[in-house]
Amino acid sequence: MKGLTLPPSNHWNPTNTKAITKQPSRTLSTIPVQVSLNNNNNTSKNNASSRRNSLLSFAVDPSKAPTPIHQSQPPLVVVGSANADIYVEIDRLPQEGETISAKTGQTLAGGKGANQAACGGKLAYPTYFVGQVGEDAHGKLITEALEGRGVLLDHLNTVSAVPTGHAVVMLQSDGQNSIIIVGGANMSCWPEKLSDEDLELVRKAGIVLLQREIPDSVNIQVAKAAWSAGVPVILDAGGMEGPIPAELLSLVDILSPNESELARLTGMPTESFEEINQAVVKCHEMGVKQILVKLGAKGSALFIEGEEPIRQPIISASKVIDTTGAGDTFTAAFAVALVEGKSKKECLRFAAAAASLCVQVKGAIPSMPERKAVLNLLQSL
């Protein structure tokens, strides 16, 4: 997938906090989960790091009926972008100066942050989304899509000064896509300092997911709050093309790029697995101990400093309709499995199954699979 990010139509205005409204509180239902949690609230760096290595242990019984979420279940918290994805289906990309006709056009909810939150919700794990949408039809589209997938939106802001972020997705007949992003509310009108309520939600999370389609300053605030409470942070490298601030990298537990993002971040080739391995070493030198690399048709690999890489081949899909959102599905499913106490190898396998189901449906958020479908696929292998 190729992506191009355009600057937002309005400059980021950190002091513009007027006309921001919160979504009303809701109650989410999900499958019963038994939780074992040991958190002593010590905020030192060493203790926080130690607690990250002993994540929550969950026992899930998908056969039981849904029951309300209890406070004892620390949620997945996704802080990031929400876009209206404007799909155009084409046979091929246009040449320079050429105009071509699309077969169809459709607007669907998406954005890396919203995609990952929707995935968490569809996998029946308690999930909050922290982000911004405009006061417009696209914002309503995204809100309804996330609510419909069980995502808690108490910390979703609606801003009036800028439109909802949107993207043009050029979908080719083989399922591959090229994307142009307009930042909108994702990049503008964030408060200079996140609210105490938002940061407290982060501190009480079981795991936090970040991406690079919102300002780095926001991600840094969130990562600091998570670090202080010993909450693991996964940073998806997708989004802005610039270098990742060293301060942010120092607060991240797992960095998750795809091959092209890894090459861009390190300035190194990533054509072969050996080249990927060398690029990962450079990421370790930047301060990140764990690198989760999404390799497209070649699967994925988790590199932990000082250990042998854990490789996971793809789980073949019976048909590939749309790869949009597959990487987000993979990352979010990995996070859910990790916070449930699965081994790293099991996390990779669970994520691969979720991504395999995702590519068989058009659209990002509409393609997020249910937990039962993922478990059924794994049981069939």
Q: Please enumerate, by residue number, every residue annotated as part of a binding site for K(+).
A: 322, 324, 358, 361, 363, 367
Alpha helix stretches (DSSP H) within 173-212 = 196-203
The single residue of 198, 216, 253, 328 carrying the catalytic annotation is 328
DSSP line for 82-108? -EEEEEEEESSPPPTT-----SEEEEE
CA–CA–CA angle 79, 73, 151 (5° rounding)? 40
Assess contact for 222 and 208: CB atoms under 8 A. Answer: yes
Q: Tokens for 338, please give them.
A: 């990790």
- Residue carrying structure tokens 């998570």: 226
User: Token digits for 326?
Assistant: 């597959």
The number of beta carbons lying within 10 Å of the beta carbon of residue 3 is 17
Q: Tokens 């998806």: give the residue.
A: 236
| CA of residue 332 relative to chain centroid, distance | 6
Mark the binding-site residues for substrate, compressed into ranges.
83-85, 111-115, 213, 328
Q: Which residues are annotated as a binding site for ATP?
A: 258, 294-299, 327-328
Alpha carbon distance 345, 353 (integer Å): 13
Cα separation, 229 vs 206, whole angstroms: 10
Q: Which residues participate in the annotated binding site?
A: 83-85, 111-115, 213, 258, 294-299, 322, 324, 327-328, 358, 361, 363, 367
Are the beta carbons of 352 and 95 closer than 8 angstroms? Answer: no
Cβ pair 17, 1 in contact under 8 A? no
φ, ψ for residue 19, nearest 5 deg: 55, 35
In the residue annotation, 136 being an active-site residue is answered as no
- List residues with catalytic annotation: 328
